[in-house]
Structure 1
Amino acid sequence: MTREVQTINPATEQPIATYAYMSDTDVSQAIDQCQAAFSEWKTLSLEERADVLRAIAKELRNSKEELAALMTQEVGKLLKDSKDEVELCAAICEFTAESGPKALASEERDIPGGTGVVAYAPLGIIYGIQPWNFPCYQAVRYAIANLMAGNGVLLKHAETCTGSGLMLRDVFERAGLPKHLFKVLVIDHDQSDKVIEHELVRGVTLTGSDGAGRKVAQKAAENLKKTVLELGSNDAYLVLSDADLELAVKTCVQGRIYNNGQTCVNAKRFIVTENHHDEFLKRFVEQMNAVKLGDPTQEGTGLGPMSRTQLRDELAKQVDDSVTKGARIECGGKIPDQKGAYYPATVLSNVQPGQPAYDDELFGPVASVIKVKDDDEAIRVANDSRYGLGGGIFSKNEERARELAEKHFDTGMICINGYNIAIPNMPFGGVKDSGYGREHGGFGMKEFVNVKSIYKM
């Protein structure tokens, strides 16, 4: 009996398409094909690889309407956000093509009695396990860096966005990427473990929950393979005592509901000094309550559905558990009586340790507002988390905010008086239970390379 994956539109709960799981023989063949393609790809010059990446950027833009429509259909993203995602991916390709040849060029160093050469050689096949919340970006983020480095790439995408993963493969190949160099595997978790174990797979990267990260890292470690992990987070945004309150409120609303609140670097915990707390909460609730919930394909919609009803129900349970333990619902907090995986923009106050809203990641449009005495307590509470991916600081004293960000905020990425998810020329990644390793900014190109020392005497 053929096993199948069925994708579902979370806005309508209607089926989109079905895809057959690959057999173990299919998977083995795919890996062999990727290895053969890699053997040719690694011999190309850095500039030749860069030219293909530039062509991929162009083809992504040519395919933007079609790819964005499918992403919105599969995961419920606002259509405008899906289009922006494709543009971000094209920009990643262009940045990598521009900076890659210089970053990966061999270096000469003086050594006693001769010349040392540091060379960055590709490792081989890199296996990526990616989530559904950014169907194009999550795959492009690791794939493009590794293609620039000369590696082959395997992708196990989330079942929810199987179609988007396969379309991305087609975009790459239409742009001139050699066939089989980027392979999409439609497989289950047991098969995924076997891919990690495969002798031709040289590295593994995962974006997902910290629980999934532990399992994948353990399996990779058993086989002595390097991993890069970008995991969950509970990003804190600090509204310090000298913050511009209007800017803080507006930005925090944007940071919480972006991508329907389903982003690892969404603003999630809002830590507000007592001199601003009451007014911040009032304005924040007003603006969150005004967010329009609806069809993600329509202009004017501020918040679409979550990607699956199961995830929506899990979020609702986290809210209910937090309320049982003392949190207060200021707006939202109730599953609407309508078809689709919808959940309203929600604000919780009186958030304390021991509540899911304080301790855990709420992966959906729920904001946790935490009152603190002063700026020192704000930093302490921000760091009182097992996570450390992103975060933010609102302060009119940008020099002091930068010092806090550099020296005291224990997280990987910090926005000062603003919010963004990713910029191609800046590193992306976290610390603690949010994982390790970096992507973007040139760093991702060197995560999976053999840094060779060559001694010319």
Structure 2
Amino acid sequence: MLDVINPTTGKVARQFPLANQKIIEKKLAKAAQAYPEWRALSFAERGEYLRKVANTLREQSKKHSALMTEEMGKPVVEALGEVEKSAGGCEHYADKAEDYLAPQEIPSDAKKSWVQFQPLGTVLGILPWNSPYWLATRVFAPALMAGNTVILKHDSHVPGCAEAIEQAFIDAGVPSGVLQVVITDHSHAEAMIRDPRISAVSFTGSTRGGSQVAAIAASEIKPAVLELGGSDPAIVLAGADLDKAVDVLATSRFICAGQSCIAAKRLLIEESVYPEFVEKMTQRLAALRVGDPTQADTEIGPIARDGLRQELHKQVEDSVKRGAKCIMGGKIPEGPGSFYPVTLLTDVPLDAAAFTEETFGPIAALRAVKDVDEAFSIANATVYGLGASIWTETNKGAKLAARFEAGQVAVNGIVKSDPRLPSGGIKRSGYGKELGPHGIREFVNSQQIWQGE
């Protein structure tokens, strides 16, 4: 049995049985059996099912949000927002999938030639714990609307969330076997990827885990989409709206208690406005409310697990040892739960852990830069390439955006995932895209048709 620990209390919230090979076999067989009929449905028919799922998620939003809060500590207001975003993702692909996958006529030496998009089979989604509903939606909404069936292997720390997602599909009347979840440990993941009934893999998680998944999928000649770690830079130049930049970057960095892949993790501030920015950021962070995530006024809940908190604290200690100044926070509090205080590090050296590693927690790391060239030199000096942002005059920012080595860039705004736009990284942040028209085409066969006389 798996003990699920509530990170707010440190106590066991529930026990959950892990799936064995016999259960996994049944789910694989069921997905394969459901595929032909699901594929044969029209886009309109599949879309109607996804809209019913969206309605079910909204109707039961308090149940779903409470599970996130209990299992991984997400503040209830954020959790409710995630459920709504997931429902919206279902509706987006219900509305747009047919357009995204419309056949494309391409002139050639044929009388007529075109590309049409066909489903692959069953897609396996391997997911983390930090956004258990939205990250699942990013896999199942496009994959299902393309005509595939889906099996989700959630992180074993959020089994209640995983089970509730499957139940939402059952409650919505989606045919059996179209969407299933498996709660198991990593020992079964490789066998699932290698199983011939799995046609493609989508993985969200650590760079190390992604490397292992990529190697296994490649050895089986199966496509994979990887959304991995990040150490996203945010550049703030003189002339930017500092009040707006501080407010948005604080939100970006501390959402989900800082446990977000696309959070702004390295803040690079032009030296002429650095003192003012630090002062404003200090005031903004001091106002954040840390506490019980079940309360509506809580903005920062606990870290998902104590082991993650300990690792985060080591990164803070390393950064201070190397010369960073700890303006606030930086100490593990007494009491139950895996809380970590809002922490602000300034003058962070380039070799400090806060700049060289991905920090997954409520830590803002700031450094002054002399000009835009130094800012981009530091911004791109990382093995990661997920997201980035720049704060400056709008036209200038749009021109400078291409200098980032990152999969997505926000100009005077927050880096976020949007069902209308492709999301994904480069370098050790992964490959392939999720969401938008690009994301749904990761799960299809782009079939070329040549027609003669």
Provide structure 1 residue ranges, at least 5 long, that are not aligned to the other structure: none
Contact 1:232 1:361 in 2 (8 A): yes
2:395 paired residue among 394, 399, 403? 399
Q: What is the DSSP-based 3-state SS (H/G/I as helix, E as strand, rest coil) of the residue aligned with 1:169?
A: helix
User: Could you say which residue in structure 2 is the equivalent of 1:408?
Assistant: 403
Determine the C-alpha separation between the residues in 2 that align with 1:110 and 1:27.
46
Determine the C-alpha separation between the residues in 2 that align with 1:113 and 1:334.
69
Contact 1:289 1:332 in 2 (8 A): no
Q: Which structure 2 residues correspond to residues 327-342 of structure 1 after superposition, within 5 A? A: 327-342=324-339
Determine the C-alpha separation between the residues in 1 that align with 2:320 and 2:59.
47
Contact 1:96 1:442 in 2 (8 A): no
Q: Which structure 2 residues correspond to residues 202-281 of structure 1 after superposition, within 5 A? A: 202-281=199-278
User: Could you say which residue in structure 2 is the equivalent of 1:364?
Assistant: 361
Contact 1:240 1:375 in 2 (8 A): yes
1:432 paired residue among 427, 432, 436? 427
Matching of residue 311 in structure 1 with residue 311 in structure 2: no
2:440 paired residue among 422, 439, 445? 445
Once the two structures are TM-superposed, the CA of residue 428 in structure 1 deviates from its matched residue by 0.9
Deviation string 1:334-368 (CA, Å, 9 cap, x unpaired) is 01112111001101112122211111110000011
2:155 paired residue among 144, 155, 158? 158
User: Could you say which residue in structure 1 is the equivalent of 2:15?
Assistant: 18
Contact 1:50 1:101 in 2 (8 A): no
Determine the C-alpha separation between the residues in 2 that align with 1:38 and 1:19.
29
Once the two structures are TM-superposed, the CA of residue 59 in structure 1 deviates from its matched residue by 1.2
2:175 paired residue among 162, 178, 183? 178
User: Could you say which residue in structure 2 is the equivalent of 1:301?
Assistant: 298
Q: TM-score, normalised by structure 2?
A: 0.98
Give the 4+ runs in structure 1 shifted more than 4 A: none
Q: What is the DSSP-based 3-state SS (H/G/I as helix, E as strand, rest coil) of the residue aligned with 1:117?
A: strand
Determine the C-alpha separation between the residues in 1 that align with 2:449 and 2:436.
26
Once the two structures are TM-superposed, the CA of residue 117 in structure 1 deviates from its matched residue by 3.0
Contact 2:388 2:415 in 1 (8 A): no
RMSD over aligned Cα atoms = 1.2
Deviation string 1:426-454 (CA, Å, 9 cap, x unpaired) is 11111111111111112211101111112
Determine the C-alpha separation between the residues in 1 that align with 2:283 and 2:228.
31
User: Could you say which residue in structure 1 is the equivalent of 2:74?
Assistant: 77
Determine the C-alpha separation between the residues in 1 that align with 2:345 and 2:233.
14
Contact 1:241 1:375 in 2 (8 A): no
1:188 paired residue among 177, 185, 190? 185
Q: Which structure 2 residues correspond to residues 39-188 of structure 1 after superposition, within 5 A? A: 39-188=36-185
User: How many residues of Structure 1 are paired with residues of Structure 2 in the alignment?
Assistant: 452
Q: What is the DSSP-based 3-state SS (H/G/I as helix, E as strand, rest coil) of the residue aligned with 2:114?
A: strand
Determine the C-alpha separation between the residues in 2 that align with 1:73 and 1:159.
14
Determine the C-alpha separation between the residues in 2 that align with 1:331 and 1:240.
24
Deviation string 1:212-257 (CA, Å, 9 cap, x unpaired) is 1111111111111111000010111111121111111122211111
Once the two structures are TM-superposed, the CA of residue 420 in structure 1 deviates from its matched residue by 4.5
User: Could you say which residue in structure 2 is the equivalent of 1:32?
Assistant: 29
Could you tell which deviates more after superposition, 373-382 or 121-130? 373-382
Q: What is the DSSP-based 3-state SS (H/G/I as helix, E as strand, rest coil) of the residue aligned with 1:313?
A: helix
Once the two structures are TM-superposed, the CA of residue 113 in structure 1 deviates from its matched residue by 4.0
Provide structure 2 residue ranges, at least 5 long, that are not aligned to the other structure: none
Determine the C-alpha separation between the residues in 2 that align with 1:286 and 1:110.
60
Q: What is the DSSP-based 3-state SS (H/G/I as helix, E as strand, rest coil) of the residue aligned with 2:289?
A: coil
Amino acid at match of 1:335: I
User: Could you say which residue in structure 2 is the equivalent of 1:324?
Assistant: 321
Amino acid at match of 2:9: T
Determine the C-alpha separation between the residues in 2 that align with 1:181 and 1:156.
14
Contact 1:72 1:82 in 2 (8 A): yes
Contact 1:306 1:312 in 2 (8 A): yes
Contact 1:256 1:268 in 2 (8 A): yes
Contact 2:7 2:72 in 1 (8 A): yes
Contact 1:10 1:341 in 2 (8 A): yes
Deviation string 1:145-200 (CA, Å, 9 cap, x unpaired) is 10001111111101111110110011012112211111111222121100011011
Could you tell which deviates more after superposition, 318-327 or 158-167? 318-327
Amino acid at match of 1:137: W
User: Could you say which residue in structure 2 is the equivalent of 1:377?
Assistant: 374
Determine the C-alpha separation between the residues in 2 that align with 1:287 and 1:108.
53
Determine the C-alpha separation between the residues in 1 that align with 2:57 and 2:245.
34
Deviation string 1:191-212 (CA, Å, 9 cap, x unpaired) is 1100011011111111011111
Deviation string 1:290-330 (CA, Å, 9 cap, x unpaired) is 32210011122221101111111110011111111221211
Determine the C-alpha separation between the residues in 2 that align with 1:110 and 1:303.
55
Determine the C-alpha separation between the residues in 2 that align with 1:112 and 1:392.
45
Once the two structures are TM-superposed, the CA of residue 410 in structure 1 deviates from its matched residue by 1.1
* CA distance 1:98–1:276, change in 2 (3 Å): same
Determine the C-alpha separation between the residues in 1 that align with 2:320 and 2:378.
20
Determine the C-alpha separation between the residues in 1 that align with 2:251 and 2:22.
46
Determine the C-alpha separation between the residues in 2 that align with 1:56 and 1:432.
35
